[in-house]
Chains A and B, each alone.
Chain A
Amino acid sequence: MIPVRSFFFAAALAFAAAVAANPREFDLPNGLRLIVKEDHRAPTVVHQVWYRAGSMDEAPGTTGVAHVLEHMMFKGTRSLGPEEFSRVVAEAGGRENAFTSTDYTAYHQQVHRDRLPLMMRLEADRMVNLVIRPEEFAREIKVVMEERRWRYEDQPRGLLYETLLATAFAAHPYKWPVIGWMQDLQSMSWKDASTWYRRWYAPNNAVVVVVGDVEPEQVLSWARRYYGALARKSIPSRKVLAEPAQRGMKRVIVKAPAELPYVRLAYKAPALRDPANEWEPFAISLLAELLGGSDTARLHQILVRERRVAISVGAEYDMISRGPGMVFLYAAAAQGRSGLDLEMNLREIVARVAAEGVSPEELERAKVQQIAQTIYKRDSFFAQALELGMLESSGLSFRDAERIPERLKAITAEQIRTVAAKYLIDDGLTVALLDPQPLPARAPGAAAPAARH
């Protein structure tokens, strides 16, 4: 190894370990877990509340209810009227939002450090005192349907993604979209949201993450005051959800108004379960990086620059996941190229990695990129809290954050070849092709006549 690289890793790993060493965890008697990470670079703080319930905990017929409930969490409690939550956060100068994924639902605020107790008080209140008013639900479900139209129905690549997952999974709930099917949203009632809330929202199903200009003991005392008073609930046991082995390639075509053909490939892959002993997820993560991580990665270099069959490409793999993992490769066609053409090119590149492996330089570059990103993350309290919360909500420990750089560094080129040959195989592949449809009779660029209003 050249000296520059060794220096990079030594410095980067030392730094990553130093900053990761600081989070502290506290478990309250009612089962709520609190993670606090001190960072005094700015007088602000991030407060996130994670519930271990996402769309994978839903059932057919009520898909999307996890996300609908997330919307309803802003619509009032026994003591706060609708809209009041946001009003109070805004008045405190805070930024707030929430998000729902397949695996969890999280709520967050960024505020000046003095406002943290107020945020805790508000979150603790809606953890147990939410009021779902039928008339508020009736309005908000329309907003969610608009969100669905906006994210999926009018986004050809969003539709393709949704259809790809619905095709790739036969049994696992990852087969339905987080936002839910439109029909399920149309038939959903406030009672569905209420049932969801009563089932999953409790201190013993929540992780609170605080990162910023705080003292952990002080945060603990506030947490005891606000969250500690809430009663533990019995949380339903979760079924083991397994996807049966795929025995051959699956294919699907989506037609939508667009110009360029587009293809997205999904390969079944493992997710991280045992960070201390497993190596495959780390190898797959580096494989995705060296295929699609940057303009110098293989997909861009070969498909965009050399062959010019694509105008944009990428690869994605998220090793932190409650359910099965997935490696995605995607490409948008250059003029005159078909989706099939792109697909064949992508599969050929994958096959070449499986057969011939990768160069040491490529692997080093991928490691440097990923480890540098773990350091860059330290610039943002929010990104740090996100990492801690995601680990804790996915069955892992926040302590695994500090292990990741070391584990990435240990991966060999042979291990990259091995995971490519084992997982990026046709039998575990689902291919989704976008078949672009022309717009009805409108000349390109033609402007409609304008009228006065």
Chain B
Amino acid sequence: MHQDTHPRQTRRNRRGFLRRISPRILWLLILTLSLPAEARVEIEHWVAQSGARVYFVETHALPILDVAVEFSAGSAYDPRDRAGLGRLTLAMLKAGSARYSEIETGRRIADSGGDLRSSFDVDRAGFSLRVLSSEAERTKAMETLAEMLQAPLFPTEAFEREKARAVANAREGETQPDRIAEKRLYALMYPAHPYGFSASPETLASINREDVERHYRSHYGSTRAVVTIVGDMDRAAAQALAESLTSRLARGVDSALAAVTPAPGGEVARIAHPSAQSHVVLGLAALSYGDPDYFPLLVGNHILGGGGFVSRLTKEVRSRQGYAYSVYSYFRPAARDGPFLVGLQTRRDQAKDALERTLELVAEFVARGPTAAEFAAAKKSMIGGYPLRYDTNRKVLDQVAAIGFYRLPLDWLDAYPANVQGVTLAQVRDAFARRVVPAKLSIVVVGAPD
């Protein structure tokens, strides 16, 4: 088999929700309604001597160690006229350190079977490194990561190369309908906030090597760092590892992002493109981590457009109208009012109808809220599916890294079922009415011009 496969729905839309079931199978569900209660994720937390916050989950079931080191250095910290600086800085950490050249850095990680991934979003910039927990492999890979993070050299040649790659990639993005749409929508949702800035060939071209060095110095301090360690290691070794990854960093300052000034919204941007489909995206600034509306909005969105095949948007826009393969809504919580997003792609001559129908569905949901049956089913689905949220070390790493970075309670994972269970229908209706005002949605259509 050498061809990509064709799932019936993309991952993005998946997260399970649901409604009433036929009596024929009800008996089975009644037998299995007891809540899964066995699993707990024990997170140990401490502050390293360096000042970095550390989160550790010890598990010896597999000879694997996962480590994430993330800094408050996402795209929100880019200057507007240098948008793209944060991502470029992160890429440059791989380009050579005081002890290891660029090629040695890569080889040392590869030779120990390491799997190094960059992670970068509006808030966070960093790496995750998976390695076998056997001492020789682990030590070699982690030593290399420690060098990358704490003693990068930003060699001029590598900088020019990485910058040229970023510029070329941004040029490519200006021709692709999905990337054009996303960029424009963020600019509309966040007209004055750095969440709305995005890299262009021009902003990238204006970045010089000194900008990168300065950005590193001001954003990669130990007090801005969160170290997450999951896997086959004991506490003492985890403590030593966290120190070795952060002790040589400058302490730095833990600067906070500006609050988001709400955009007036209600704009429709239409961008002509010869694509077969129009790409339609809608959104508004909505939700921070730790917000009291977090769970009501999460449960509500499960019903509207987040709950996979049974969500209202998928049932109507996809299954009944056949407008789109992928239609979704979701909240992307962030440090400051992350967006609520709705999107679909549809044949260009029916884009107008599909957008209208989608807006009606959103407006109707916000106005009336879910039915009692939908609401009960969504909670059951979310609670029943809760063990799937952390059934691999990789998922635990991602969840715990978010808990650490956003300073969520350490029992955040364990409390999830109770938090979902505690949501009332009135809270869902109320939270949506306040947070998702349909008239404030910004809308972008790339494709058909009318």
Contact = CB atoms under 8 A, between A and B. Distances in A.
Interface of A: 4, 7-8, 11-12, 15, 41-44, 54-55, 67, 70-71, 74, 79-84, 86-104, 110-112, 114-115, 117-118, 121, 138-147, 149-151, 153-154, 161, 165, 174, 177-179, 257-260, 294-296, 301, 304-305, 308, 311-312, 316-318, 320-323, 325-326, 328, 332-335, 364-365, 368-369, 371-373, 375-376, 378-381, 390, 394, 436, 439-440, 442, 444-445, 447-453
Contacts of A260: 168, 171-172
B442 to A, nearest CB: 8
B308 interface: yes
A416 to B, nearest CB: 17
A114 to B, nearest CB: 5
A295 B115 contact: no
Contacts of A147: 6, 325
Interface in B3-39: 3-9, 14-22, 24-25, 28-29, 32, 34, 36, 38-39
A114 B277 CA distance: 42
A87 B17 CA distance: 8
B54 interface: no
B272 A146 contact: no
B274 A369 contact: no
Contacts of B20: 87
Given A91-B21, A92-B384, A99-B8, A112 B36 contact: yes
B268 A451 contact: yes
B62 interface: yes
A102 B308 CA distance: 25
B111 interface: yes
B134 A11 contact: yes
A296 B172 contact: no
B302 to A, nearest CB: 9
A424 to B, nearest CB: 15
Interface in B373-405: 377, 380-388, 390-394
Chain B contact surface mostly: mixed
B385 A95 contact: yes
A14 B158 CA distance: 40
A442 B277 contact: no
Given A99-B7, A323-B1, 20 more contacts: A4-B137, A11-B132, A44-B388, A74-B309, A80-B22, A83-B310, A86-B309, A91-B384, A93-B381, A93-B382, A93-B388, A98-B7, A143-B318, A146-B324, A161-B4, A259-B171, A317-B2, A332-B172, A373-B115, A448-B272
B169 A311 contact: yes
Contact of B174 (A91, A259, A304): A259
B276 A149 contact: yes
B107 interface: yes
Given A305-B161, A439-B274, A453-B266, A142 B322 contact: yes
Contact of A326 (B2, B102, B394): B2
A43 B38 contact: yes
A257 B102 contact: no
A95 B14 contact: yes
B369 interface: no
B185 to A, nearest CB: 11
Nearest to B115: A376
Contacts of B381: 90-93
9 contacts: A71-B8, A83-B319, A84-B21, A93-B380, A112-B36, A154-B177, A154-B345, A304-B161, A453-B443
B209 interface: no
In the A-B complex, the 10 residue pairs with the smallest Cβ-Cβ separation, listed nearest first, are A93-B384, A372-B113, A90-B18, A142-B322, A93-B385, A42-B391, A86-B309, A147-B325, A296-B106, A450-B267
Interface string B188-223: 100000000000111000000000000000000000
Contacts of B1: 54, 101-104, 318, 320-323, 390, 394
B447 to A, nearest CB: 9
Nearest to B447: A154
B446 to A, nearest CB: 9
A54 B1 CA distance: 10
A97 B63 contact: no
A81 B25 CA distance: 12
B111 A368 contact: yes
B318 A257 contact: no
B62 A378 contact: yes
Contacts of B273: 257, 439
Contacts of B435: none
Interface in B163-187: 164-165, 167-169, 171-172, 174-177, 184, 187
